[in-house]
A = this chain, B = another copy of it.
């Protein structure tokens, strides 16, 4: 079947209604046929629009293996929610069809009681493995690896391997087989063979003679950045994962590392935009969505009150020169933008390894000099606008001077914040922007109003 044979779901008015009908009809075969026709994205869309009863019914109608395939098409958060609605026994049957890494991810997304109930219903061996995988932190080699890999003993022969490959063809078909790992009697990694090394082998030779010795490998606790570096340096199709005793634990595929990296940038993007505490889907109940967003906004309101208190202190100045009120939000907003640019550059350089978290002086020098240039440019521009509007030289001076000074503060602080937060082990994506905005708001209000207080008689005399 080629990709062209797919139905174009955009041509189907509302595919979730077709799906709803099929689920209600309660027959597995036509349901499966319909799902097979849809691409993963189309499936994800249609399923997300079903009621949660329909979603459960859909998973129960299908065989565990088919249900597992459906779950692979949709986002982890949603898949975990759907599984939690099933009976633990049914959920366990479906999970057993997934690979070890995926099982742990889904269980990790559920609340602990549901996960425990499902684990109790899984085959003891698989449950044991899943529990072990759950203990590895998510963005490490242990958390990203799969246990499904081919390992042979060094004294085995090529002919043994070929026999085993032939015999277990079906099982291995689901494996992402690129390499054969060779271990000693205590499961310690000794070497690796590429699949195509088997093309011209001496069948009677033991693997130890043909293998590449002391292969590249990663430790279970290697982090995401280390793993990315690994695959950038060694363009391999998989990295064997070993524990402290060099015992083979599984294999990390570069796709898993890429996917984890992509998820991290999604979290970063959502965090920057104030979506905290898990992804939001519009299919979630209104109060869940509202509550999650409010938790972030209510912190923001406190920060805003702190910043605005500066204005309250200078009320008299403002009352005497009301034109300033027009420029207060402008100065704070413009500086916020300048500061955010510096935050973005620092975060980017940190993620590329082009700056170390300790290099505060370097970043300060780079950003302060840019802050002077851009501060002067923007200050002149806004100062000129203020001057021509009220034909008051002092108004221009106050506004322009305040913007110049605040740009310097914002840019310098913005450049430094991600480095400081990284050293404090806090997430720059979440914390930089609100912290920066609060400070640049306060400083902006302060510069405008304190400069204005100093020349107040000249201002009101515009």
CB-nearest residue of chain B to A310: B326
Q: Which residues of B contact A363 (CB under 8 A)?
A: 282
Is the CB–CB distance between B41 and A229 below 8 Å? yes
A316-359 contacts to B (CB < 8 Å): 318-319, 322-323, 325-330, 332-334, 337-338, 340-341, 343-345, 347-349, 352-356
Is the CB–CB distance between A353 and B289 below 8 Å? no
Is the CB–CB distance between A42 and B353 below 8 Å? yes
Known: A281-B354, A353-B41. A273 touches B340 (CB 8 A): yes
**Choice from B217, B254, B334, B356 contacting A304 with Cβ under 8 Å:** B334
Is the CB–CB distance between B290 and A354 below 8 Å? no
CB-nearest residue of chain B to A273: B344
Is the CB–CB distance between B196 and A294 below 8 Å? no
Give CA–CA (A308, B334) in the complex, Å: 12
Q: Which residues of B contact A330 (CB under 8 A)?
A: 301, 304-305, 308
Is the CB–CB distance between B322 and A315 below 8 Å? yes
Q: A369-384 vs B: 1/0 string, CB under 8 Å?
A: 1100110011001100
- Chain A residues with a Cβ closer than 8 Å to the other chain, count: 116
Can you list 22 pairs linking A and B with CB atoms under 8 Å apart? A2-B214, A39-B229, A40-B233, A44-B354, A45-B355, A75-B352, A162-B200, A165-B199, A166-B200, A195-B196, A196-B196, A254-B255, A265-B265, A269-B269, A272-B273, A282-B345, A290-B377, A297-B378, A301-B334, A308-B330, A315-B325, A333-B437
A218 at the interface (CB under 8 A from B): yes
Q: Which residues of B contact A254 (CB under 8 A)?
A: 255
Taking the nearest CB of chain B, how far is it from the CB of A444, in angstroms? 9
CB-nearest residue of chain B to A321: B319
Give CA–CA (A286, B376) in the complex, Å: 14
Is the CB–CB distance between A322 and B323 below 8 Å? no
Q: Which residues of B contact A39 (CB under 8 A)?
A: 229, 233
Q: Which residues of B contact A75 (CB under 8 A)?
A: 352
CB-nearest residue of chain B to A49: B354
Give CA–CA (A225, B41) in the complex, Å: 9
Taking the nearest CB of chain B, how far is it from the CB of A369, in angstroms? 6
Is the CB–CB distance between B341 and A273 below 8 Å? yes
Give CA–CA (A341, B369) in the complex, Å: 33
**Choice from B322, B323, B374 contacting A297 with Cβ under 8 Å:** B374
Known: A301-B381, A344-B269, A374-B297. A45 touches B353 (CB 8 A): yes
Among A262, A373, A445: residue with most chain B CB under 10 A? A373
Q: Which residues of B contact A41 (CB under 8 A)?
A: 225, 229, 352-353
A311 at the interface (CB under 8 A from B): yes
A385 at the interface (CB under 8 A from B): yes
CB-nearest residue of chain B to A177: B196
CB-nearest residue of chain B to A201: B199
Q: Which residues of B contact A177 (CB under 8 A)?
A: 196
Known: A229-B39, A333-B304. A217 touches B2 (CB 8 A): yes
Give CA–CA (A269, B332) in the complex, Å: 22
A154 at the interface (CB under 8 A from B): no
Give CA–CA (A235, B259) in the complex, Å: 14
A108 at the interface (CB under 8 A from B): no
Q: Which residues of B contact A176 (CB under 8 A)?
A: 235
CB-nearest residue of chain B to A304: B330
